[in-house]
Amino acid sequence: MGRWEPNARDRLQRAALELYSEQGFDQTTVAEIAQRAGLTERTFFRHFADKREVVFWGENALHELFVDAVANAPDSASPLEGIAAGLEAILAYFEHIPRESARQRQAVITANARLQERELTKYSSLAAGIADALRRRGTAELAADLTAMTAVSVFKVAVESWIDATDDRDLSQHIHGSLDELKTLVADG
Amino acid sequence: MGRWEPNARDRLQRAALELYSEQGFDQTTVAEIAQRAGLTERTFFRHFADKREVVFWGENALHELFVDAVANAPDSASPLEGIAAGLEAILAYFEHIPRESARQRQAVITANARLQERELTKYSSLAAGIADALRRRGTAELAADLTAMTAVSVFKVAVESWIDATDDRDLSQHIHGSLDELKTLVADG
């Protein structure tokens, strides 16, 4: 025990998502995940607090990338340019996530009410973080909240459309598509 | 028992929100709510399934008002005009809710993580309902989702700003302010 296991986190995450897909999140135990990954439960708990954390692992990094990019946008940037910078920054996070993994993960969440609630909470806390960053840049209270929620909506729709797409456009293109959609929505109104 | 109690639902709801504010949602029992309202537990359960439902009672009516208004907007209405009609329609729901009650209710939700999750789920299901109504009107998939989430953001921000406001503007004015904010956000980007 305690010895270094190459790619243990990745192997555990892959095994967990496979099992959650096959037999359901509630029906899967940590023992089964460890076994499928060819590792021990102890190794699992060195990497994840519990089996739910496997699903949301990496979300904090994404949150940080997004919020930092908004905070560090040039002073001259408008709120919308700030969130465009945030959306650009998170592409680095998705670079190493194959679309098939993202699709599998989303299907696992969709199948479980508790995971769905958890996902909504994550999105809500991302919006709160973005709103704080905007307020620190001088954006007014109401505008900061609305901009942050809009940013998260644009992001959610882009990821959803990337996951569902049958063509080869990458996430970056879906994000631009989603931002354009927002502009069209408001312009046509 | 069983006799008609005038305004039982209102009295129970008022008593419940008072107790949740004073001593916390988790610490309050249905027996205490009934006692504070001068009614029986049996009467409580004739009106509400459980003590959580008291907090979200009426949300289904709001959901229906919003979605029906989007569905019934003139064929010529743009998606943004559709959601403006939805936002207009829910004012009827808020007409009989004093701002102080809305403020108290929001504080109860903010103080309890499970109630917050429940609120996010309610908002998410409202967005899904609006998106469906838009798709039935012929709005494309991605545009419908983005428009619906934007509608819910505009609504959330308007209610938040109405609750926090120190002036006498009514919810309708906050909704128009929030919609204008959205237009400014996108126009300035």
Predicted pLDDT at B1: 47
* A150 in B contact zone (CB under 8 Å): yes
- Cβ contact, residue pair A145, B157, below 8 Å: yes
Interface contact B149-A157, CB threshold 8 A: yes
* B24 and B81, same domain (yes or no): no
Nearest to A153 among B117, B141, B153 (CB): B153
In a domain, B1, yes or no: no
CA distance A28 to chain B (A): 24
Structure tokens at B31: 């027996």
Measure the CA–CA gap between B147 and B83, rounded to whole angstroms.
8
Residue of B79, B147, B188 with shortest CB distance to A80: B188
CA distance linking residue A14 with residue A16, whole number of Å: 5
Q: How far is B168 from chain A (nearest CA, A)?
A: 17
CA distance A83 to chain B (A): 10
The answer to whether position A3 is within a domain reads no
- Mean pLDDT for the stretch of residues A79-98: 92
In a domain, A42, yes or no: yes
Cβ–Cβ below 8 Å for B189 and A145: no
How does the average pLDDT of chain A come out, rounded?
Answer: 93
Number of domains in chain A: 2
Mean pLDDT estimate for chain B: 93
pTM comes to: 0.91
CATH for B34: 1.10.10.60
Q: What's the gap in Å between the CA of B106 and the closest CA on chain A?
A: 16
- Kindly state whether residues B164 and B91 are assigned to the same domain: yes
Residues A167 and A137 in one domain: yes
Q: Is the pLDDT of residue A114 over 60?
A: yes
Helix B171-188 and helix B79-89: axis angle, to 10°? 160
Say yes or no: A77 and A152 in one domain: yes
Return d(Cα A150, Cα A107) in angstroms, integer. 24
Distance from the Cα of B63 to chain A's closest Cα (Å) equals 18
**Is residue B122 a part of any domain in this protein?**
yes
> Is B158 among the domain residues?
yes
At B189, the pLDDT band (50, 70, 90 cuts) reads low
Please say if the pLDDT value at position B47 is more than 50: yes
User: Do A67 and A43 lie in a common domain?
Assistant: no
Spatial CA neighbour of A10 closest among A18, A2, A22: A18
| pLDDT of B167 above 90 | no
| Residue at A121 is within a domain | yes
| Co-location of A107 and A181 in the same domain | yes
Q: How far apart are CA B45 and CA A40, in angstroms?
A: 49
Query: Which residue among B80, B150, B161 sits closest to A188, beta carbon to beta carbon?
Result: B80
Are B175 and B92 in the same domain? yes
Region B38-47: what's the mean pLDDT?
95
For residue A112, how many C-alpha atoms fall within 13 Å in the half-sphere facing its CB? 20
Residue A96, pLDDT > 80, answer: yes
Closest CA to A88 of A173, A149, A6, A22: A173
pLDDT at residue A1 is higher than 50 = no
Provide the CATH number for the domain around residue A74.
1.10.357.10
Q: Is residue B2 part of a domain?
A: no
Task: Using a CB–CB cutoff of 8 Å, tell me whether A178 touches chain B.
Answer: yes
Determine whether A59 is exposed, middle or buried from the number of CB atoms within 10 Å of its CB (0-12, 13-18, 19+). middle
Q: Tokens 């994550």 appear where?
A: A122
Q: Which of B34, B27, B31 is nearest to B8 (CA)?
A: B34
* Pair (B19, B35) in one structural domain: yes
pLDDT on residue A187: 83
Q: Is the minimum CB–CB distance between B157 and chain A shorter than 8 Å? A: yes
Residues B45 and B64 in one domain: no
Is the interface score ipTM higher than 0.90?
no
Quick one: pLDDT at residue B3?
60
Q: What is the pLDDT of residue B4?
A: 65
Give the separation between CA A69 and CA A73, rounded to whole angstroms.
6
Q: Are A189 and B80 inside 8 Å of each other by CB?
A: yes
Interface test with B, best of A78, A83, A112, A157 (most B CBs within 10 A): A157
Tell me: do B29 and B80 sit in the same domain. no
- pLDDT tens-digit readout, A134-178: 999 999 988 999 999 999 999 999 999 999 998 889 999 999 999
What are the chain B neighbours of A160 within 8 Å (beta carbons)?
142, 145
- Res A3: pLDDT: 60
Q: Measure CB to CB from residue A150 to each of B81, B153, B160 and give the nearest one.
A: B153
Per-residue pLDDT reduced to its tens digit, B116-157:
999 999 999 999 999 999 999 999 998 999 999 999 999 999
Domain that holds residue A33: 8-49
In a shared domain, residues A26 and A63:
no
CB contact under 8 Å between B142 and A150, yes or no, is no
Residue contact A120–B120, C-beta within 8 A? yes
In a domain, A115, yes or no: yes
The amino acid sitting at A93 is: Y
Rounded CA separation A33/A14 (Å)? 9
* CB-based contact, B139 to chain A, within 8 Å: no
Separation between Cα atoms, residue B103 and residue B62, nearest integer Å: 17
Average pLDDT over residues B74-100: 92
Minimum distance, in Å, between the CA of residue A94 and any CA atom of chain B? 20
B43 and B133 housed in the same domain: no
Instruction: Please list every residue in chain B whose beta carbon sits closer than 8 Å to the beta carbon of residue A115.
Output: none
Nearest to B156 among A84, A149, A185 (CB): A149
Chain B residue at shortest CA distance from A161: B142
pLDDT tens digits for range B94-110: 988 889 999 999 999 99
